[in-house]
Amino acid sequence: MKRLTVFLLFVIFTLAQNPATLVDKCSYDVESFILSRDIFPRIAIGSIKNHSLRGKNFIENLYELFLSRFSDYMIASEGVIGFDSTGGFFSPPPGYDFLLRITYQEIGGEAHISIRIYSKDGKLKDFISCSSPLNEFAYREFEIKEGSGKKPLLLWEAEVEGHPLAVQREGENILLLYPDRLVTYRKRGGFLVRRVTKKLSWPKPYYPSLDIRGIISSITLGNSRYIALGISTSANYLYLDASDLSIAGELPWIPIGEQGEKVFLGKFSAGKNYFRPELGVKENPESLEDLTSVQVLYFLPFYDFCVLENMLNVIDIKGKRRVFKDGEEVPTPDERMGDEIECWNSFLFYSGFGKKEKLSFRDFQDFDNSGEVGISGKIINMTSENDGSVIILVEENGRFWVKEFKIE
């Protein structure tokens, strides 16, 4: 029962909406049937019929979710006869006590699963039905396809000095944040030419840290535009006037994303390279003073954050992407994405973990438009641009590079 309990908690906290919730609803009833027996019976899945427009991949994922949900009771099928658009069909193993025949369908904006439970002599013993409102975004993610193997086009790359922490484009300038300074560069061919160096003095208190992380973001408030800077060793963040890089203020929050008129803000955990389990929200701020008082949502510790199709995309401290809509978590494939994520239109860009990482991208309007490119080093920071390009800061064998990629 321990494995079942662990998985149940996983479903509740990481897949809190359909189709996982729909499977979970039906599974409770199946489990009640199982627990009503004198001894725990062995069960097997005989078929999954698809009465919807969902594809083969969706049904395969549904099958895997049922297998995991009933791992303590399930006897694995001897062989999968096959999956197609009509469903999945299996060769039931000997020794089962009850056989599940599952039907999936979508009617009137709701998803339905029905399960017929048969005894080993073929008699119908129970019928279970459950439904849940459709969440199109969640379902599209659940049936995500393999990438096409496309590669982003490298537009340019340039080596930079020292140990920078973050990169950002502001107009024609490339901004690089160092622990003690902000440097602006102008791109000329394959080189970055230094233009301005702004010395920085971070607000106190100052926390010791073995792995300093930096962040640059920009925000327009009223008629003024600001560059916000932060490092994980400082409790507050610097705001510079974008026109001349003069100090405009110090605040305890830094912008990390926008959705319509809402601005989302975060703050690093003290001395850590990830953000605290709090998310600041401010609607339609007009000045820096408006960012001193924000609504605080208690969240989860996270590395990075962006907004895609009105969904909040978060990289948790295990490197897994978590997706939230209207305060509720929606299902995503169980995959690790590193610690950097960016959103642009329907595109998601993300990094990896390790000494040799990769830049990956995914288009949620066209799953075939996805791919990756290997990076011979570690992606330190990443930012997306409004033209569909992404700029990354990379460390390769002790040397630091800024690279810009374009999605074709």
- Which one-letter DSSP state was computed for residue 286? -
Residue 8 has a pLDDT of 34
Whether the CA torsion 282, 284, 285, 290 is positive or negative: it is negative
pLDDT at 4: 37
**pLDDT the model gives residue 81:** 66
Task: Walk me through the domains of the chain, giving residue ranges and CATH numbers.
Answer: 2-142 (3.40.50), 153-406 (2.120.10.30)
Answer yes or no: are the C-beta atoms of 359 and 391 closer than 8 Å: no
pLDDT of res. 18: 59
Q: Helix crossing, 20-35 with 56-69: angle to 10°?
A: 40
Q: What is the pTM of this model?
A: 0.78
The rounded distance, in Å, linking the Cα atoms of 403 and 381 is 11
Taking the CA atoms of 52, 21, 323 and 6 in sequence, report the sign of the dihedral they define: negative
Asked whether the beta carbons of 295 and 281 are under 8 A apart, the reply is: yes
Strands 389-396 and 378-384: antiparallel
Per-residue pLDDT, 67: 85
Residue 69: the pLDDT is: 84
Please give the chain's pLDDT, 408 residues, in tens: 333 333 333 333 333 345 878 888 888 889 889 888 878 788 988 889 999 988 888 888 888 888 888 888 888 665 566 788 888 887 777 888 999 999 999 988 889 999 999 998 899 999 999 998 888 778 878 877 666 678 889 999 999 999 999 999 998 899 999 999 999 999 887 688 999 999 999 988 888 888 899 999 999 999 999 999 999 999 999 999 999 999 999 999 999 999 889 999 999 999 899 999 999 999 999 999 999 999 999 889 999 999 988 889 999 999 999 988 888 888 777 778 889 999 988 899 999 887 789 999 988 877 778 888 999 899 999 999 888 899 999 999 899 999 999 987
pLDDT for position 17: 44
Please tell me the predicted confidence (pLDDT) of residue 126. Answer: 93
